[in-house]
Amino acid sequence: MTGSVHILYTGGTIGMREGPNGLAPADGLDRLARNHQAQSTWATPLPAWSFQALAPLIDSANMTPAHWRRIIEAVRASARAGASGVVVLHGTDTLAYSAAALSFWLKDIDLPVIITGSMWPAGVEEGDAWPNFFGSLQALERAPNGVSLFFHETLMPATRTRKVKSHGWQAFQAVPYADDRVKEQARTQVPVTCELPETMPKVGVFPLYPGVDPALLESMLDTGLDAVVLECFGSGTGPSENGAFMAALKRARDEGVLVVAISQCAQGGVALATYEAGQVLQGVGVRSGGDMTREAAYAKLHFVLAQRGLSAAERAEVIDLNVCGERSI
């Protein structure tokens, strides 16, 4: 790869050090990386790289959509400055959420962006920090323009990847499409803008479970949500005979809250028309999220609701589209 790669460090385990209350984000990762590169041979050849810490560094458990803005703006600034690629170092707990969010807002960018992290801090013997750090720099050579996720020697689609292990090397896994043929349609063009809103929309996630209390959904709506990711059973069913729960969904529809159903199952997605219990959800305004992951659905709703030039009906239609590889069609 010609040109310099820019590394954006947001925090996370990869640069943490042990403190009085456990591991916490710390400065100095760039110095450790330079020293390691100078003493190692496995990491060559590598592109030239520069480094920027996005202060304040955070544990990714504290990541919010407001932090996405900071990362997106930093990536775009790197592109304007002439970077040939960008690597974002991020904590693993919410890495898949940020990867999906960056994919939507950077879908128009004309350079490869890789987001990665590690399960062990840099300096831990036999850990994964340096393989992921330097592996990402090498992977930029084969990465497509836009955002990809790199972990454990594997380049993965940022909108189709989830964290599946809390410990171990292979912590992330790409989720297959419900219909494998959509791989050829992973860059469907839609009339949307990548301009960031002044304030991020307010999106919630509501998981269903046997005996779910409708008052919990009502209380979420009371907070002024703009959209809800509804995590349904199986192929998209819910407590259709629970009148209070259905009333809460009707309230969401009437108040213009976009409710998108996804499946709690790891693969397959939802098909709301399959069962009566799913069709009833459709009847009160719930929209299918197809085979989107929770992370992709959550990020996409932020992106869709930020489209100020679209009507409510047009925003709902965009949910059905495959914007950047997040869902089957």
Active site residue: 13, 159, 161, 293, which one?
13
Q: Cα–Cα distance between 115 and 128 in angstroms, integer?
A: 15
Q: Cα–Cα distance between 117 and 101 in angstroms, integer?
A: 16
Any catalytic annotation for residue 92?
A: yes
Encoded tokens for 53: 């810490």
14 Cβ neighbours under 8 A, 6+ residues apart: 29, 89, 91, 116, 117, 118, 121, 122, 129, 132, 133
Any catalytic annotation for residue 274?
A: no
Cα separations (Å) of 270 from 213, 235, 263? 22, 4, 6
286 Cβ neighbours under 8 A, 6+ residues apart: 230, 249, 259, 260, 261, 272
Q: Say which DSSP state 134 is in.
A: H
Q: Cα–Cα distance between 204 and 218 in angstroms, integer?
A: 12
According to DSSP, the residues that pair with 287 across neighbouring strands are 260
The answer to whether the beta carbons of residues 66 and 10 sit under 8 Å apart is no
Please, what's the b/e burial string for 174-205 (b: 16 or more CB within 10 A of its CB; e: otherwise)? Answer: bbebbeeebeeebeeebebeeeeeeebbbbbb
Task: Give the DSSP H/E element, type plus range, for residue 142.
Answer: none
Q: Tell me the DSSP string of 29-81.
A: HHHHHHHHHHH-STT-S---EEEEEEEEEE-GGG--HHHHHHHHHHHHHHHHT
Active site residue: 92, 94, 237, 293, which one?
92
Encoded tokens for 102: 């960056």
Encoded tokens for 89: 């170092």
- Catalytic (active-site) positions: 13, 92
